Every structure is written in C-alpha cells, then in structure tokens.
Structure 1
Amino acid sequence: MSDPASPARPGAPRLPVLEGPGAPVQAVGWGAGEPRAEGGRSVVALAAAGRDSAEDFPAPERPGVGYLGAGPPTYDPEPTALPPAHADRLRELVADTVLDGARYGTYTLRAASVRGDSGRYRGEPRRDTLLTARFGEGDAALILVAVATGARATEGAHLAAADACHWIGGAVGRSHSRLSDDIRAGRRGDLKAGLQRLTDRGYGKLRARAAELGLPPEAYTASLRCLLLSADPDCRTRVFFGVGGGGLFRLRDGAWQDLEPAAPDPAALTCDPVVGFGSRPAETPRRDRLTVDLGIPTPPAPYVEEPVPPQAEPFRFRASVALPGDTLLLCSPGLAEPLRGVPALAAELADRWGSAEPPGLASYLADTQLRVKGYADDRTAVAVWEA
C-alpha cells in the first residue's frame, strides 16, 4: 500500500480501473495470506499490540449493504454503540454521520464523513471532522471544505480534529476577500505563502492546547486537508492545501490520478507556474526577487501578522485548473488507503462517479460507505464534479 503522503510525479502510474462491461471485481481481503483487520493491519499485528481483532466480532449479513469481495467485512455496517457522554461536555459529542452538498458556478460539491465500522462497534467517537463553509456573497464568495483526522489511539482525538477545522475555518473566513481575489487572479505564490502561514498558526494553537491539557504535542494533533473553491463561474482554479495523511485524487477519462503534491523541493522549483503542480517561488515574472528591498513601503500582511514556528510535517499545496468532466476527490486516510491499495474499490467508484451527472446526497453517502474487508476506519470524502 502506498504512503498516503506519497508525492505525485510526472509519469507516475495511475490508479487502475477495470475496463469494459462485465469485468470481474477482485475479491479483496480473502483467501491466501494473513487475515487483515482495521486500518489494513493484520489480525496477528493487532493481537501482538494487545488489541481485539476484527475477526472477534462477526457481523450479520444485511441485504442492500454494499461491499467488495467474497463476503461482508466482519464488523456490523450499522452503528452499534454510542460514544460515552459527559453531562457538562455535551458539545464535545459528534454525530455518527455528516452529509453536505452545494452547487456553485460550474461545479457540484458533495461531502460526507462517516464513522468507521470499528468505531461504530466499539462506541468510539468519529475521529474525522468535516467542515463546509461559504464566506462572502455572489461571484466573490469563497467555499472552504476542511477535513481533519485526529491521532489514532489518543483520548480526545476527535476534539483535536474539530479544533483544527474550526481554527483554519476562522482564519480563512477572516481573510476570504484577499484569498478569493488571489484565486481568481491566479496568484499562486501569494496563495501558497498565505495559506502556509494560516496553517502553521493553526498547528501552533493545537500545540498550545496540548500544553494546556498537559499532553505531549503528538497526543493532541490532527492531519488537515482543505479545498478552496471560488463561486465565480469563470474561475476553474481549485486550491488544495494541508498537512498530514489523506488523499487527493482526480477522476479524468475514467481513470484515477493521484494528485498528492510532493513535499517542497527548492531545487525543483521554476519561476513559471505549472498547471496543477503547486506554485512558483517568491519571484515575479521579470525575475525580481520579492525579498529585495525596492524602496516601496510594505503594506500590512494580508493573512497573519505574528511569526509562527514551522510545522514538523511538510505543508502541501496544489493549485490546478479543472476541466469539464473532471471529478476531484479529497479524502481522509480512511478512504485514501483502500482507494490506493484496493484496485476493485477504485474501479467501482470510477464506474459510479464517471458520469457527468453527480449523485444525489443519499447516493453519494452510500458510495462512500462501500465496504472492503480489512479497512474499518472513519471515512471522509469531499468530491467536486465539474460541468
């Protein structure tokens, strides 16, 4: 299985799809080899770690519940146990499932976040958080979709994920006018610099919150992945940024492409923007370095004033131009891992989402819950259909 943060390189192989009607669907997670449990880990590995295996909890067969393979995964696909609640902290509760959608300009947005089979059985809260928000009005409006996943096996992981989404949402909302202008004008360098500072500041808050709770930073943190979409029908630039695991894919001409941007490499940067591959360095088209003092008064910073410490994990950024018929998919590790590792799942979703007409909310939710034995984590998926 590929590392969710593996970079996309020119010429890298596309995720496979099954071709032609009636092509066989590969049975996954069954037959030869070591049995697998949640998160793709083997039952043997889980037992060695002192955790229950998925094989300990046989799931009943339920008609109408979609899955891939020769039989259903072992966990019950329906919610079983609720997470524990505290009378004085009811705002910390998260729903099992969140579903949202919208339509602006030339695209249709669908977003869903679902608690995994493992969490549903164990009564654990959903570690994934989904935030969808619109800032501004008319063509100048900016749509933000943020997905965060709390650290595994840590208490309060869902709270860290919620904090990460809410803090980046507030920062984007306060700077939405400038961000919207930069996206519509194609100022990729400005976007990358500003969004990186906003993200660093959010992670600085997470570290501060961890210190307040008496926890190490790694015990109160989350991966964060965001999409910025303009409501302007003449703007087809789609901006991704974030830190940590997950996936960014594009369905084009029936094939999935892994668009996960590489970690910044100064030696690979050029002065000209390349469609779909991040941004140019801090340099003008006339090769004037933006750090040179030209004697021009510096205006107030449009994003974040105070300095922030650098992030331990690399900041990833990608600004690409969408084409009619594209489907862009941003997802948490719970969907990115099986999508990269199970060809049958990639093929099935390509078949379901390859048409020009996007699915309704109910159909989209069912699609995102297509089950694969061996993967039982939360799934959050944000898809954008281009007309």
Structure 2
Amino acid sequence: MKQQGTGRGHEDDWWRRLYGDGGGAGGGAAGDTGASDAPDTLDDRVASALRALAATGRAAPAPGDAPERPERPGPATGKPPGRTAPPPPPAFPTPPAPIPLQATGPGSRPATPRRPVPPPRGAPADPPPSAPPPDGPEPGPLPAADPAALDELVPDTALDGARYGSLTLRAASRRGDLARHRGDARRDALLTVRFGSGRHALLLVAVATGPPAGEGAARAARDACTWIGGAVGRSCTRLAEDIRTDQREALRSGLQRLTDRGYGTLRARAQERGLPPERYTAALRCLLLPADPECRTRVFFGVGPGGLLRLRDGAWQDLEPTAPDHLPRHAPADPGDPTPPTPGGSADGTPAEPFLFRTAFARPGDMLLLCSAGLAEPLQQDRVFAARLAAEWSAPGPPGLTDFLTAAQLRVEGHPKDRTAVAVWES
C-alpha cells in the first residue's frame, strides 16, 4: 500500500506538472483553486508541457500514442483498480522531442499536374491558329458581340425548307471549321423568301459570301441578300410572268439591272462606314423558282464564285455559266445613276466578276444545287466527296431537313470554309 501510494503521488505530481491546475510550473497545493497569472496560449501550454517532461526525465509521447492510464479491473477478479508505477528517471534527462514537420522537398509526395495560370488582364492573347483542329466540327467560341448592335449577330447554322407544287426546297448554311475554331462569325448569308400567293407565287433563294478579310463581311453578305430580295419582291409580278412566258432576254436585262443597283447600295454603305468598296462587298448567287406546277423553268443569276450543279440519274452536271453566256453590260438608264460599270467593282471602275445568268428546265427526278464556294470547291476537287453526296441525294424522295444538313456538312480535309447549299428536288 505504501508503494502504491508513493507511486500514485509521484504520478499525480507528473500530471500536475504536465497539465497544471493553477499552481504554475511548480504546481499548486492540493485543493488550490487560485487562478494563475501565466499566459494561457497554445504555445505557452506546449512549452509548459515540454518543461515538465524535461524536469521529470520522461520523453514526450510519440504522435498518436496515448499517455499511460490506470489499469482497470478485469471482469473475473473484481480487484480494485491500481496504478502502474512510472519507470525510474534516466541518468541524463531526455531532451524535449521535436514536433514532427511534413517533408516538402523533392520526392516527398507524388507530383500533381499544374493548372494553367491565366494571363494577367490586359496581356495580349495568343494569336488564333491558322487551321482548325482535326477533331469533329463542334462549334468553338462565340463571336464577339457589340451590346449596341445585337441585330448583327449571326447564328452558327441556318436551316430552311419548303414545298410548292412539283418542287421541294432544302437550304442550309453553316459556319466553316476554321471560323468555328477561331470564334469568327459566319460570312455566308442565306435568304429564302416567297412573294405572291397561289400559282402566281415566286420563290427567291439568295446565297451571299462576304470577303475573307473584310470588316463587317457577315453584315455585307446579309445586306446583299436583303437588298436583292427587296428588289425582286417589288418586281415579282413582272418577273414571274417573264419566267412563265420564257422571256429570257427580258429576264437577263431586268435581273442584271436589279443586281447592279444592289451592289451600288453596298458601295454607298461602304462609304458610310469609311471602308473601301472592295472591303464591303459579297459574292451573290440566286435562284428564282415559280410555284406554278406547270412551269418548270428555273432561273439562276448572280455575281462571284460558287457553284451551280444538277444531279441527274446519279451523276453531277456542272451548269455554271460559261464565257459565251456573259453579255456586255448595259449602260445606266439614268445618267445620274451611281451604278458602276460592273457589279462588285470598285469606285474607280476597276472590272470585277461578271454578271452570271442561266435558265434550266427541270425534269422529274432532277435535283438542282446552288452553293457557295465553300461547298462548290470540295465538290469539284474531291471525287470521293462528290460521289458520296450524289449517293446521299439520289435516294427516292428528298431528305428531311436534318438529313440534308448532315450530308451538306460532311467534312473534307483542306476545305474549312463556310458552306451554304440550296437544293431543289423535282417530282
């Protein structure tokens, strides 16, 4: 009992030195409840514990080890609890144990990938890549928008269609892979519109493409479509009658005049914007389609590059007008008319693309294709692509809108331009 009491007193003194009960470093008397004036921060408590350990000659417990606790009676003996006497102090006091620190040098932990650091505000952005990625044609960033000109935004893709009498129309315009990757606006514009009603209705489909490096190229293309649409709409009754009666020369002269005036308006808009005329212009290609099922004459006219093809019996036929079909230009009807000698020409009279005109007679089973250069070029240069489109569009009956778009946007390596396709199936 004496030994047990002695050991218990020694251990109580060790616990008082370690945790303290208000008596400071030397410990207070049993039952002392006076408050200590010593600082009571976490660092002070750790320092006090280390001093107590040094004074008793005991080493600090390893991290995670619990201090020795009194033994508890076993379930069978029922003996009163006893305490295990601490071991005798060593001959030389053990120095305070250092607090373990986490290693931070090389090899202390597996390497983790570093996140890219965004450039500071105002830093110049990386130049846009010159070629689109080889993966799928998913849209990239949106084109920049002006909050004061949201009406100038152009959607990535436009899709339209109609059916009148013996013809079925499908039209699609989509942004090219390069423009999608760079976040540029689609420079191809598409207009499908009907003037009149019943058998006297006239359909107009216009496709325009702005210049590659022109400021406001998308706006210029839409302006070209809008202005030719307005001009045709105001003359639709006379044009529809000329088509039904096959007045080819009257059609050529009238459509050429309307086209000239549209390009004159484009040049006036370029001056308003402070741009040279060649920077605010567009290639323009149009189809006039009578809704009368008894009239199968289809009229093409326009200016600039693109394609006009016919799919007949599973084979492509190039209907692009050739040089003999280009007639000399007419003189302006009014001496004060600002229309220049050639559509799309510069203000100083520099010649530009000639006016194009052609009529075609449709047979049941034919498909007439009007397209921008972005689709005409791969059709003319890639036989595999041309054969695949011919197979897709030679199936019985015209495709649905989504099927037509899927075929029109088939990717061809080396041809990342915008694509616009207008197809007319005859029954």
TM-score by length of 2: 0.65
- 2:275 aligns with 215
CA distance in 1 between counterparts of 2:293 and 2:216 reads: 40
2:197 is aligned with 1:137: yes
Shift in Å, 1:355: 2.4
2:384 is aligned with 1:353: no
Give the residue type in structure 2 aligned to 1:229: L
- Note the 1:144-163 alignment, pairs <5 A: 144-163=204-223
Q: Which stretches in structure 1 are left out of the alignment for 5+ residues?
A: 1-49, 59-73, 270-280, 283-300
> Which residue, 118, 126, 129 being the options, matches 2:178?
118
- Note the 1:239-250 alignment, pairs <5 A: 239-250=299-310
2:238 is aligned with 1:178: yes
- 1:314 aligns with 354
> Which residue, 362, 365, 389 being the options, matches 1:325?
365
Shift in Å, 1:154: 1.7
8 Å CA contact retained: 2:264, 2:338: no
Q: Deviations over 1:194-250 (max 9, x none)?
A: 000000000011111111111111100000000000000000000000000000000
Shift in Å, 1:307: 6.9
> Which residue, 108, 116, 129 being the options, matches 1:52?
129
CA distance in 1 between counterparts of 2:252 and 2:387 reads: 33
- Structure 1 residues 264, 218: CA separation in 2 closer, same or farther (over 3 Å shift)? farther
Shift in Å, 1:105: 1.3
CA distance in 1 between counterparts of 2:260 and 2:384 reads: 37
> Which residue, 379, 383, 407 being the options, matches 1:339?
379
Q: Deviations over 1:119-151 (max 9, x none)?
A: 111110000000000000100000000000000
- 1:79 aligns with 139
- The percent identity for this pair of structures is 67
> Which residue, 163, 166, 169 being the options, matches 2:229?
169
Shift in Å, 1:114: 0.3
- Note the 1:178-197 alignment, pairs <5 A: 178-197=238-257
- Structure 1 residues 98, 265: CA separation in 2 closer, same or farther (over 3 Å shift)? closer
- 1:372 aligns with 412
Between 1 and 2, higher relative CO (CA 8 Å, sep ≥ 6) is seen in 1
8 Å CA contact retained: 1:168, 1:198: yes
Shift in Å, 1:75: 5.1
2:416 is aligned with 1:385: no
Which of structure 1's runs of 4+ aligned residues deviate more than 6 A?
Answer: none
- 1:262 aligns with 322
Q: Deviations over 1:42-72 (max 9, x none)?
A: xxxxxxxx98332xx54xxxxxxxxxxxxxx
8 Å CA contact retained: 1:328, 1:385: yes
8 Å CA contact retained: 1:263, 1:314: no
CA distance in 2 between counterparts of 1:104 and 1:161 reads: 27
**SS of the counterpart of 1:167?**
helix
8 Å CA contact retained: 1:111, 1:381: yes
Q: Deviations over 1:242-283 (max 9, x none)?
A: 0000000000111101110013568xx8xxxxxxxxxxx99x
8 Å CA contact retained: 2:128, 2:182: no
Give the residue type in structure 1 aligned to 2:275: L
Please give the root-mean-square deviation of Cα atoms over the aligned residues, in Å.
2.0
Aligned residues: 288
TM-score by length of 1: 0.71
2:393 is aligned with 1:362: no
- 2:22 aligns with none
- 1:30 aligns with none
Shift in Å, 1:321: 0.6
CA distance in 2 between counterparts of 1:313 and 1:207 reads: 15
Q: Deviations over 1:161-183 (max 9, x none)?
A: 00000000000000000001111
CA distance in 2 between counterparts of 1:51 and 1:343 reads: 31
**SS of the counterpart of 2:323?**
coil
**SS of the counterpart of 1:372?**
coil
